Structure 1
């Protein structure tokens, strides 16, 4: 990282530097070819942070040339030897298809077409592209103005030697121009910063897309998890209602005590109380999906089905190596591009140390009578004036502005390195959740099977009068709890896989193979599954829900591309 503690202010060189620059400027009028180099050498040596050799090597630009900060990444994942983790690189451009769930596939497509956060990110690209064009325009004359005026004037007759004509008119029109030459690279560094900021806005779009895809998948999986947990709860309610009826019948016949009835009622009411809580969770996941789809909250169960199961997860996930994160994750690429933009702004600030050379010109026509204005060349007026402006006696403002920009560069560089560390942590968290989550599901599956068999044996014993209701009560509660834990664990494994793909930066490539138009703004009905059709999903759907009329901004363009926009090229994965 670069610190400009050795920069000196122009004011510290005193009147000698100013006088020397004035003499050099005068000599440049007489001998421009020799004096220009001498003046540049004197100015750089006397005032700036950049040496003459650096100025030349940088393409006649002051300020540092950017170098990417080092990214701290591990050589291998902690669980790289686990059979569920494959080091082979996998195509993550459509990772959600690994769940083999057509409903999820269609939700992803609808969210890509309709999500409003993604449209905001697209609009930011358009803004950054326009800002880049503004910066590029500063390479050319910065001030260009056409003017025209008319005045009717009277001179004093009491002044010494009054003119014979006291009243006269003046017509004038023409064109003014002022052009500050980019001698020190101020404007080129500004373009460099705008280029990097445009790149950062494209990476931000990709990051929003990665987050959108993972949020849609996560909320869909949560919705399916709550549906599966509700299925278990309602089945247990039915079973426990029969147990209560049996206990009441036995109590009426004098074959059981009231305690059996109350225990049966207690476990039934406890299970029934679980249903509203799970319905609340399902509705919240439903509402979150609606927002992600860009539609008002509605009951998606009409489309997704009133019941459903958690999609199966693959037994192995290809995670690659940690170094892949730096080139794959768009949030890291965005952070790196922001560092590059700030590096260029240091050069913009350093350029204030040096004088600004400009050309000022005017061309017009002027006459007393309107008809005489176009009597050229007599009515023509013109002028050209080279000039320089140099901020001196700035009391450390320029130097400290450079230090401000340099400090911001260091902040962004440290933030980039910390982002790389956080990305590694997120990936490791997702990997361990995925690996250990499978182990938990395996254990809970065996536990549920054992609890179910224990309940069956105990219930038969109670029905035959071999035991009272207490063992049935205990094992019914255990079975309900174990089944709910199993469904939650299966959902967590699926969500951990989504988090893993998100941590690896998968999915942003989706935009490369999609048209840039906004689509028709409709939420499309979901297709039926490829196998084992679900009547709830295959049933007729309600009409399409229209979206707001705001169009989806086109996907980001390469600089200089013509309208209508073409799909955005993928960033170089090796960059």
Structure 2
């Protein structure tokens, strides 16, 4: 009995000694923690201080771009369509759900900084040994083993592996937010562009029908002169050819109009044919404002969410280089297991309450035999980082190119409208004069045909030029990255979707409340 008690006291002293030393070990290890891998630095990209259209009276570079730029067209229908698209567009909802996914991934990465294994266990094992196999007298050949306890394993973040993982997922989360804003920019521009296309087709159809009416009058004049013997049947056939040719363009224009309507329906998350009431109102091509504010190139870097996303994706990859480098060094693990274990023999009795067992201690793991493979893994991550850094520079240059292209298109399309308007006025006058002269017999019908063909072409050119002004301005605002700021306080997931997800899974506040990284103010872009 004394020996049993002494053993138990020795065991107790060993346990208490270790538990007194364990906190000191943790402090020593954590005190020496460091973070390996590079820290992210935004790549430098050279940009001009001003756009190429500096000095043009139609462009203001001193003022910032309007965040609700579509309202500059002063079209209530367009304003309503953009608002509906924000609420109903399905790809935008997918982008919002990716933010929710990124929040959850960040939660997983954050949890990795704490004991990675925390598990309670329990088992009952029945075992039996034949008497011939045991070959020992007095040994229980049939018994049951009972265990219940708790396991914990904590790999200390000595080299910053898990901190870098949190850093990567934080940047990924912010990148998903930037992608959502980029989807908003694209959606706004696409709704405005598609609406402009619809109005352009409506104007072209109306012009074609007006020309059909004018050409019908010309055919009646030709038929009257033919009946009176003043001209040949050739005038009638030529007038008929032009009239039917004009009529043939109308169904083709209607095809384009219906396709544009269907595209707008999809943008609004509606089946085709459900938006006719939304398009009621004046059928005219949106008018661009007289003065457009575009800011300066440096402002574009702050506004364009796709550039911000490219930067954040590169930052996340930079953190992954650190995660990979941490594998080059030994890992320090604290592990422990504590529980109760008892075995019942043939008699069937056991005492689980006085059957404590434990296992606790530190462990070091260093896979130096895999050193070459690990180094190549670091090289893989570093190569991916460099690709993203170069991609960021290219994204900035492409963005600047898009702005300059759209700006040139917008300004030159405005000049084209002026010239086309003069051409239409002249063509209309030519039709009137040619018809009068033909009725009086001063010219043949070929002059009338030429004048009417020219009028139809010039009217089409004018409508397309006006449409080009609007679409070029839309492309310019899209290139500048405008349109997402007004939605910053709006939920990224629609209410019906929230209810559906909550019925399946306990999301807590993750669906509606932004996580800490999202609430941080984005840093201003560096001067380039």
Fold shared by both chains (TM-score > 0.5): yes
TM range (shorter): 0.7 to 0.9
Which of 32, 35, 42 is the matching residue for 1:61?
Answer: 35
Deviation at 1:89, TM superposition (A): 2.7
Establish whether residue 239 from structure 1 lines up as the match of residue 214 from structure 2.
Answer: yes
Q: Partner residue of 2:475?
A: 499
CA distance in 2, matches of 1:79, 1:364: 77
Structure 2 residue runs without a partner (length 5+): 1-20, 503-507
Deviation at 1:329, TM superposition (A): 0.3
Deviation at 1:101, TM superposition (A): 0.6
Contact 2:198 2:260 in 1 (8 A): yes
SS in 2 for 1:357: strand
Which of 57, 63, 74 is the matching residue for 1:83?
Answer: 57
Contact 1:363 1:382 in 2 (8 A): yes
SS in 2 for 1:393: helix
Deviation at 1:395, TM superposition (A): 5.7
Establish whether residue 392 from structure 1 lines up as the match of residue 340 from structure 2.
Answer: no
Worse overlay, 160-169 or 347-356: 160-169
Deviation at 1:110, TM superposition (A): 0.8
**CA-to-partner distance for each residue in 1:15-45, whole Å, 9 max, x for gaps?**
xxxxxxxxxxxxxx99x789968xx9xxxxx
Structure 1 residue runs without a partner (length 5+): 1-28, 41-54, 521-548, 555-559
Which of 99, 106, 127 is the matching residue for 2:80?
Answer: 106
CA distance in 2, matches of 1:34, 1:213: 54
CA distance in 1, matches of 2:519, 2:465: 40
Q: Partner residue of 1:6?
A: none
Which of 48, 68, 80 is the matching residue for 1:74?
Answer: 48
Could you say if the C-alpha distance between residues 516 and 65 of structure 1 is closer, same or farther in structure 2, counting changes exceeding 3 Å? Answer: closer
Establish whether residue 315 from structure 1 lines up as the match of residue 290 from structure 2.
Answer: yes
Q: Partner residue of 1:125?
A: 99
How many residues matched?
494
CA distance in 1, matches of 2:466, 2:284: 10
Q: Partner residue of 2:119?
A: 145
Q: Partner residue of 2:70?
A: 96
Which of 531, 546, 565 is the matching residue for 2:513?
Answer: 565
TM-score, L = length of structure 2 = 0.87
Contact 2:428 2:455 in 1 (8 A): yes
Could you say if the C-alpha distance between residues 157 and 314 of structure 1 is closer, same or farther in structure 2, counting changes exceeding 3 Å? Answer: same
Worse overlay, 81-90 or 111-120: 81-90
Deviation at 1:416, TM superposition (A): 0.7
SS in 2 for 1:396: helix
CA distance in 2, matches of 1:305, 1:256: 47
Contact 2:128 2:142 in 1 (8 A): yes
Could you say if the C-alpha distance between residues 573 and 428 of structure 1 is closer, same or farther in structure 2, counting changes exceeding 3 Å? Answer: farther
Contact 2:97 2:493 in 1 (8 A): no
Deviation at 1:270, TM superposition (A): 1.9
Contact 1:136 1:191 in 2 (8 A): yes
Which of 391, 399, 407 is the matching residue for 1:415?
Answer: 391
Which of 250, 255, 258 is the matching residue for 2:230?
Answer: 255
CA distance in 2, matches of 1:441, 1:75: 30
Could you say if the C-alpha distance between residues 289 and 562 of structure 1 is closer, same or farther in structure 2, counting changes exceeding 3 Å? Answer: closer
Q: Partner residue of 1:468?
A: 444
Establish whether residue 489 from structure 1 lines up as the match of residue 457 from structure 2.
Answer: no
SS in 1 for 2:488: helix
Q: Partner residue of 2:171?
A: 196
Deviation at 1:109, TM superposition (A): 0.8
Could you say if the C-alpha distance between residues 119 and 512 of structure 1 is closer, same or farther in structure 2, counting changes exceeding 3 Å? Answer: same
Contact 2:191 2:267 in 1 (8 A): yes
**CA-to-partner distance for each residue in 1:283-339, whole Å, 9 max, x for gaps?**
111010000000111163444138711121112211111111211100000000000
Question: C-alpha root-mean-square deviation of aligned residues, in Å?
Answer: 2.8
